[in-house]
Amino acid sequence: MNKKIVILSVILFFISAYTHAQNTLDNAKSFLSQFDYTVSVSLVSRSASNPFDDAKLGFDIGVDAKKNIKSYLEDKVDIYGLVGLHYVKKGGKQSSDFMDLMSAGNDFGISQLSIPIHAGGTCNFKKCQLYLDLGPYLAFGFGGTDIEGLSTKCVDFGIGFNIGCKFKKKFGIGVGVDKGFTKIAEYEVTTDNNPTGNLNIGDKYSLKSMTGYIRFQWTFESK
């Protein structure tokens, strides 16, 4: 084949590939620009079912992508959907008594990546917005407390809601709850993981999660 034809073909190939990549990038930017993005830090109170039903305090961080779907009453009410990605920890304590806090098996924690998928609405005022959203979440565990008799699960599914206020559509503060429907761990009582001494050796428990939080957030608007 003629060398000039080969060189020309290569040049045309790279021009075509660059054009396609640029169009793909432009389309991706256009799609992403349709969303508002909210970064949040939360103070969390997490507990599990009996016997780990005493609350532990902690933090989680996350980001949500929100898209307005419909407006009503001259833009005073907005309906929206959101999907998020949050780093969370689930777990709880058997006892908050000072003498039990450092005992083996008194508390446990599981690290998760949680994906909430919510629908909600806002009431828009001159200087603030009130919002409420709710929906399911799906979480994937990737690490946790290593204590005798505890077997953690990889997948967690539940439902949650958020309610709060945003000022000038930027800074916000809210509260919320996530309630797990599936077990995040199984726990079998042994002589070495019974800090309170109130459980029967050999008993088994399926542990589900309950998380409440106060969330501080900042929103980056697409417009």
Over residues 41-74, the pLDDT tens digits come to: 999 999 998 888 889 999 999 999 999 888 888 8
Q: What does the chain come to in residues?
A: 223
CA distance 87 to 109: 13
Place of tokens 């599990």: 48
How high is the mean pLDDT of the chain? 84
Q: Which residues contact 58 (CB under 8 A, 6 or more apart)?
A: 44, 46, 89, 109
CA distance 142 to 155: 9
**Closest of 63, 64, 67 to residue 35, by C-alpha:** 67
**Is 80 exceeded by the pLDDT of residue 143?**
no
Place of tokens 């429907």: 181
**Closest of 214, 215, 85, 63 to residue 138, by C-alpha:** 85
Q: Is the pTM of this model over 0.85?
A: no
195 prior amide bond cis, ω within 30: no
Least confident of 38-42, 105-109, 138-142: 105-109
When comparing pLDDT for 207 and 23, which is higher? 207
SS3 145: coil
What six digits make up the tokens of 61? 């961080």
In this structure, which topology does domain 35-220 adopt according to CATH? Porin (2.40.160)
Provide mean pLDDT across the span 162-177.
Answer: 92
| DSSP assigned state of 133 | E
- 153 alpha carbon, distance to own chain's centre: 17
Domain boundaries, the chain: 1-33, 35-220
CA distance 117 to 175: 17
